[in-house]
Amino acid sequence: MSENINKVATEVANENVANATSENFNAAENAASINKKQEEMKKKKKVVLTTRLAKINGEYVEITPAYTEYSMELPDYNGKLCENLDCNKLFPVLFNFANPEVFWKEGIQLYDRAGKAIEKGTANVYVDCSTADSWRVWIDKKLERVELHEYSSVQEYAQAVGASNLYSRGLNNTEKIGIAALATGNEAYRAVFEFAKKHELTSTAANLYLNVKMTKLQMMKMSTGLELKTKPELGRSVEDAEALLSQVKEKFGSKNAHKRYAICAINILNCQKKYDLEVIVNAVQALTEIDLEEFKAAPSDCRVSTISVTLTEYIKNNLPREDVSQDAV
């Protein structure tokens, strides 16, 4: 009896030790995992520069570019892309700054690039005049061309910024694609650009008719001359795209031909490899006035699916059975 009791006691004690050891091990493992994540976060955390070397009155001075709550927001810094840029290809920029005194006088808080408040009276602080080139303050190694402006009021400063930006503009998306085509010699991008210009389409619509796969990042890289591992290619010939546009204009009207609805529905069916383009075009030609009225009455976010379903039903009902894919919707 005594032996049994001792045996049970020993087993319980061993189990408690095992549980305690397991708990300690799990706690240590969790702590190590947390520490590892914290270290990874520290590595990922970028150091934000808040000062720049600027050439003022012929001498380089370390300045703190300042911003207000009303300043243009700074875009995310695409480090990987910018690291590959040849800065020698950048146009020289005139950096415009305003003296800070008028902002402090009128109680407008100034901040550095990291978002930290700048104390009144801090030396070598200059307020950024928000323009299209403002981000270059943090790209250029040194600010070679700097102009300082004295304003009698914050209102006068804002009017100067507003007027300057009124007469400034960047490239629109079609123009960006054109520059990317010239910078790389890519024929697909050139075709999208020319198709958009010829038919007065947006670059998005031209891209859909030619069925070219492109992303914003790809376009940014190509516009600097960087070659992509996978080059964009035409998914449809220019001739087929012309025919599609003509057919969509005839059925849906020029206004809707310039939008994404009809061509998106056509691309969905064509890209699924269920039906070839000729079959789909025949279905478009067969759309009735009732079909078109249903399309017009559908909410904008349902129009693509409305056309797609209508075209699919027509094809299923009119193609010979052996020509219709078993998994057709």
- Total tally of structural domains belonging to the chain: 3
Tens digits of per-residue pLDDT, 193-211?
999 999 999 999 999 999 9
State the helix-helix crossing angle for 303-318 and 261-271, rounded to 10 degrees. Answer: 50
Say which residues have a Cβ less than 8 Å from residue 257's Cβ, sequence separation at least 6: 245, 248, 249, 263
Q: Are strands 125-128 and 145-149 parallel, antiparallel or unpaired?
A: unpaired
What's the pLDDT score for residue 135?
86
What's the pLDDT score for residue 112?
96
Confidence of residue 46 (pLDDT cuts 50, 70, 90): low
Tens digits of per-residue pLDDT, 149-196?
999 999 999 999 999 999 988 899 999 999 999 999 999 999 999 999
Residue 27 lies in a domain: no
How far apart are the C-alpha atoms of 51 and 138, rounded to whole Å? 9
Question: Contact at 8 Å (CB) between 23 and 85?
Answer: no
Which of 235, 251, 268 finishes a domain?
235
Residue 63 lies in a domain: yes
For the CA atoms of 307, 313, 314, 316, the dihedral, rounded to the nearest 10 degrees, stands at 140
Same-domain status, 56 and 162: yes
How far apart are the C-alpha atoms of 318 and 279, rounded to whole Å? 10
Which of 179, 211, 235 finishes a domain?
235
Same-domain status, 241 and 223: no
Residue 21 lies in a domain: no
The H helix count followed by the E strand count for the chain is: 13, 5
How far apart are the C-alpha atoms of 139 and 92, rounded to whole Å? 12
